[in-house]
Amino acid sequence: MMTTWNDLTNKIESKFPTFLGALSAPTDTNALNEISALIETSLPETFLNIYRHSDGEKLRATGYVFGLSLLSTEKIVHELKGWRDVIDQGLDGLSDSCTSHQEGKIKCEYANTKWLPLLGDWSGNFIGLDFDPGPEGKQGQVINFGRDEEHKYVFADSLDEFMDLLDRLLESAEITIDEEGGYAYQETHFIDALKELATQ
């Protein structure tokens, strides 16, 4: 079974009414074309469908996906250009301590122009798609990266698989709800929770 973004939004808003109306209107083709040009590859249909449904979030109080925010296309373009500038200026050894938990699947780099952010925590850390995988990795695999994410993990082999994972986690007994109506998995930062799942 393939979980769609529409399936996920229906489930999230049914379980957590705080998020009703939290998503923005759909994006336009120009924004998606700009992203595709920046990463120099075509975008998966699943990614396109997300943004044909909603161009990020209206609310910033708590993230729509387990505390993480769905980035707007404007924010994605900003991040892609910003990371490109960081790479152009030189990483000065920042990649030296980077690792790929599943050896060979992710390039041991601090930043890469072909890592496409999708979800973020407002502190410079992301879950996104990897279009420049290591020799054992898969094009479009879903990974963590960002300012504090030296140790990289593959959370799913594709965005479709990641959507299925989110759907399963939304049914978990380990979800907690805070007083503002936000929700978390295992009461921890969602990127860290996914790392834990990836090691099991």
Which structural domain, as residue segments, surrounds residue 138? 5-198
Residue 146 and residue 106 in contact, taking contact as beta carbons nearer than 8 Å: no
Q: Is the pLDDT of residue 1 over 70?
A: no
Residue pLDDT, tens place only, 31-67 = 999 999 999 999 999 999 999 999 999 866 579 999 9
pTM for the model: 0.96
- How much is the average pLDDT of 121-130? 95
Question: DSSP letter string over 30-52?
Answer: HHHHHHHHHHTSPPPHHHHHHHH
Question: DSSP letter string over 184-199?
Answer: EETTB-HHHHHHHHHT
Token pair for residue 133? 């995988």
Residue 179 banded pLDDT, cuts 50, 70, 90? confident
- CATH number (domain holding residue 172): 3.40.1580.10
Residue 90 banded pLDDT, cuts 50, 70, 90? confident
| Number of domains composing the chain | 1
Calculate the average pLDDT of the chain.
94
Contacts from 77-80 at CB under 8 Å and sequence distance 24+?
77/31, 77/34, 77/35, 77/38, 79/117, 79/120, 79/126, 80/35, 80/38, 80/39, 80/113, 80/116, 80/117
Residue pLDDT, tens place only, 58-86 = 866 579 999 999 999 999 999 999 999 98
